[in-house]
Amino acid sequence: MLKIILSFLLVSSISGVYNPRIDFSHIKAGGLSPVRVNPENIGVKVSSDKFIAVDVGTGKVLLQKGGNERQAVASITKLMTALVILEENPDWYDKVTMSKSDETVGAQPHIYRGEQVRFIDLWKASLVCSDNNSIMAMIRHLNFDLDEFVKKMNLKAKELKMHKSHFADPTGLNKNNLSTVTDISKLLSAALRKNEIKESVMQSKYVFDILNSFKTRKIYNTDILIDSFLNNKRYGYELIGGKTGFLPEAGYCLATKIAYDHRPIIIVVLNSATIESRFQDVKVIADWIYHNYVWQ
């Protein structure tokens, strides 16, 4: 009887480990596949109530909880926004002056009304420090009506087979930007295949000039994993890219791609308890994956 009870606990506590693979369109057959080597380990204890870990090479789900439960995803939305902007082939050195119409309610802005910067500075501010006004300024400069741009975001979601996702605004401030950890893993996979996104989210800081003044502005990345052991080759880890997010309705969120010994995985955590715990949750999940799977 004890063995039956333990078997039930093992299966239920990490339900989803043996789910079908996630459809990453770039996957090519023939690579190494992760194999579970420690089935007695019942899983992880984290503050996030929805999380997933996926092997990038095969799309195999390695660990999950609430994989298909929808919730607000906050500024992780900006990854979708960035993909749509890239499709417009923007001129990175266009000059843009910040307008009152770009202003949003939320986090502290990093570029202010009347200041003139290059389009690339808006792009970097959006992805490095998650600046909402910069997102709005880019969309305005590209001559998009907001509803039209959001429509493009949802069409892109369908293209990426994000079947349980819906976007309502490009910044992530709208609580009706809804997705799942499964869909967000697909979004991150697609986004990090674009060098313009990958390089930007991995910059720990960015410095730029305000063109119509003598000011220089410095911004810092919201992703503290850049300076953690998960991005230290001394420990065998490499951080490949990620995006943070927060709303009261979303909790603290993080989507990230890391590798250990050249074995990349995507981890998404939603609704973590605190700004620090979302990073700790990812560290715990990463450690669990690389101690419980081997690639062969």
Indicate whether 110 and 249 sit together in one domain. no
Indicate whether 44 and 161 sit together in one domain. no
CB 161 within 8 A of CB 186: yes
- Output the pLDDT for position 33: 94
Higher pLDDT, 14 or 235: 235
Q: Confidence band (pLDDT; 50, 70, 90) for 108?
A: confident
Indicate whether 178 and 95 sit together in one domain. yes
Among residues 220, 240, 270, which one ends one of the domains?
220
155-166 pLDDT, tens digit per residue, is 999 999 999 999
Among residues 183, 201, 220, which one ends one of the domains?
220
- Output the pLDDT for position 30: 58
Residue 166, in any domain of the structure = yes
On the question of pLDDT at 168 being above 70, the answer is yes
Indicate whether 22 and 113 sit together in one domain. no
- Output the pLDDT for position 38: 83
Mean pLDDT score, 252-281:
97
Question: In the chain, pLDDT over 90 holds for what percent of residues?
Answer: 83
On the question of pLDDT at 17 being above 70, the answer is no
Indicate whether 44 and 78 sit together in one domain. no
Indicate whether 78 and 63 sit together in one domain. no
Indicate whether 127 and 188 sit together in one domain. yes
Indicate whether 290 and 199 sit together in one domain. no
Residue 285, in any domain of the structure = yes
Please return the burial class of 119, using the count of CB atoms within 10 Å of its CB with bins 0-12, 13-18 and 19+: buried
Among residues 189, 220, 251, which one ends one of the domains?
220
N-term to C-term CA, the chain: 35
Q: Confidence band (pLDDT; 50, 70, 90) for 42?
A: confident
Residue 105, in any domain of the structure = yes
Indicate whether 206 and 234 sit together in one domain. no
Mean pLDDT of the chain: 91
Q: Confidence band (pLDDT; 50, 70, 90) for 194?
A: very high
Mean pLDDT score, 235-261:
96
Indicate whether 234 and 207 sit together in one domain. no
Indicate whether 215 and 248 sit together in one domain. no
Residue 24, in any domain of the structure = yes
**Gap between the Cα atoms of 58 and 204, Å rounded:** 30
On the question of pLDDT at 106 being above 70, the answer is yes
On the question of pLDDT at 7 being above 60, the answer is no
Residue 236, in any domain of the structure = yes
Residue 4, in any domain of the structure = no
Structure-token pair, residue 148: 């039209």
Residue 47, in any domain of the structure = yes
22-35 pLDDT, tens digit per residue, is 776 555 555 799 99
Is residue 264 left, alpha or beta, with left meaning phi > 0 and alpha meaning psi from -120 to 50?
Answer: beta
How many domains does the chain divide into? 2
On the question of pLDDT at 74 being above 70, the answer is yes
- Output the pLDDT for position 25: 56
Q: Confidence band (pLDDT; 50, 70, 90) for 88?
A: very high
Domain containing residue 190: CATH number: 3.40.710.10
Mean pLDDT score, 104-122:
93
Domain that holds residue 46: 14-69+224-295
Mean pLDDT score, 64-70:
96
Indicate whether 266 and 281 sit together in one domain. yes
Residue 3, in any domain of the structure = no
